[in-house]
């Protein structure tokens, strides 16, 4: 019997419906992490250290909750009825969603060492990059929602938006590196800011990787 990749066929099984539902919950937690990273940066720009620290705490909590969802999905996939290639695709997606939260927490931890706003242009550009990450994560959530609803064309549209935002993020990182090299930051502070910029880019890249996996699932469902 020819095997099917149709998403609706997966929804016919209770186990697979649970997995896809968990994937939606997982991406929501990852999106929460990304949004709170932006909030932490915005608070830093305003000199609101209490707000920054509260946002960092939310990132850590959401990342922890995402880890639990990841564990549940792993258990479901290990005993589910999906054929091996389908199971592998979803395992990779599960890991990619976890990477988004991990990178978000990485940025948040680095921000704990920053207790005053950066020079205006540098701060503004980092905030803009975090906004790109939020938009990309929102598009990823839309893509997974469309995947569950078996709307392949909408999935591809959302994934194309993610790709465009990731490319814009690459361009912004180059601009940020140029600004950083021109700054008069002390060695330790320069290193922390570089790590924030680099981890922020990796956060966007991890969203793009998750989008690529969702695109693969959508193409297989046609």
* pTM for the whole structure: 0.88
Q: Are 193 and 185 in contact (CB under 8 A)?
A: yes
Mean pLDDT of 122-134: 96
User: Band of the pLDDT at 85, cuts 50, 70, 90?
Assistant: low
Q: How many CA atoms does the CB half-sphere of 222 hold within 13 Å?
A: 10
Report the range of poorest mean pLDDT among 39-48, 146-155, 156-165, 213-222. 213-222
Cβ partners under 8 Å of residue 30, min gap 6: 62, 66, 97, 98, 100, 101, 104, 137, 140
Per-residue pLDDT for 9 more than 60? no
Residues found in the chain: 222
User: Band of the pLDDT at 8, cuts 50, 70, 90?
Assistant: very low
User: Positive or negative CA dihedral for 30, 31, 32, 38?
Assistant: positive
- Token output for 3: 């095997």
d(CA 203, CA 205): 5
Q: Which domains does the chain have, with CATH numbers?
A: 7-220 (1.20.58.220)
Q: What is the pLDDT of residue 187?
A: 87
Planar angle of CA 191, 126, 202, nearest 5 degrees: 70
Which residue has better confidence, 93 or 1?
A: 93
Mean pLDDT of 69-93: 73
- Token output for 136: 């990309």
């Amino acid at each position: 019997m020819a095997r099917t990749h149709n998403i609706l066929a997966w929804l016919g099984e209770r186990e697979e419906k649970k997995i896809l539902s968990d994937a939606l919950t997982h991406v929501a937690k990852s999106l929460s992490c990304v949004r709170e990273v932006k909030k932490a940066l915005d608070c830093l720009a305003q000199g609101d250290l209490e707000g920054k620290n509260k946002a960092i705490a939310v990132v850590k909590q959401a990342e922890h909750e995402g880890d639990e969802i990841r564990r549940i999905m792993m258990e479901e996939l290990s005993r589910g009825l999906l054929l091996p290639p389908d199971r592998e695709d979803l395992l990779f997606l599960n890991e990619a969603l976890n990477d988004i939260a991990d990178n978000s927490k990485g940025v948040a931890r680095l921000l704990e060492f920053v207790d005053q706003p950066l020079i205006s242009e540098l701060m503004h550009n980092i905030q803009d990059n975090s906004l790109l990450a939020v938009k990309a994560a929102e598009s990823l959530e839309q893509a997974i929602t469309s995947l569950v609803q078996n709307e392949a064309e909408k999935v591809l549209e959302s994934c194309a938006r993610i790709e465009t935002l990731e490319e814009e993020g690459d361009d912004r990182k180059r601009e940020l590196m140029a600004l950083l090299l021109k700054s008069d930051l002390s060695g330790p502070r320069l290193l922390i800011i570089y790590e924030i910029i680099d981890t922020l880019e990796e956060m966007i890249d991890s969203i793009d990787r998750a989008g690529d996996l969702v695109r693969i699932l959508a193409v297989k469902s046609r």
